[in-house]
Amino acid sequence: MGIKRMIARRIEEKRRGNFRKNETQDHSALQSRHLLAVPETENKTMSTRRKRRRARLRQIAQGLSRRSRKTKSFAQKVEKTFVPLLPSNEATLETVAERMGLSRQTIYRKLQAEGTSFTELLEAKRRKLAIRYLCREQAPLKQVAWRLGFSSPEAFSRAFKRWTGSSPGHFRSLDL
């Protein structure tokens, strides 16, 4: 067995965690022996190969991260479905299930697998939108309540107070 093959096998064993009793986990000495054993021209070729391999792996990783950004979780798909239904007060599990072409139980099960529920998604989205509307717009509270699908401004005020600890009017006056 050639020296290169033996060194490559030992490095692979170390990566896997298969250490012999007398070996240490530090394989820098092994690498330096490898560099000494390889002629200078092969050394440059190896580093060029490594650079190319790393560059290719980076491209693959970036492609995967772009794809993962494009793929939405089921919860995001449900959110995207119910947000337009908020002003008409039709953001219910039944309506969303009908729009998505799924049963209520399927939506419930898939959301549960992601560690959330329809009610939690609805509350979180309403809270986020309420804060955005109150910070960025000067719309009356009645209109904000309507846009979020609340039955009345009072119901919106109670929910907002539960979420933030302050009333919508007080929150708006804080100039955040």
Pairwise CA distance, residues 111 & 97, whole Å: 12
pLDDT score of 36: 44
Model pTM? 0.58
Beta carbons within 8 Å of 31's beta carbon, 6+ residues apart: 11
Q: What is the pLDDT of residue 35?
A: 43
pLDDT of 52 reads 79
Which residues in the chain show pLDDT less than 50? 19, 21-38
Q: What is the CATH number of domain 74-173?
A: 1.10.10.60
- Delimit the domains of the chain by residue range: 3-18+27-70, 74-173
pLDDT of residue 55: 77
- Model confidence pLDDT, tens digit, residues 30-47: 444 444 444 555 555 667
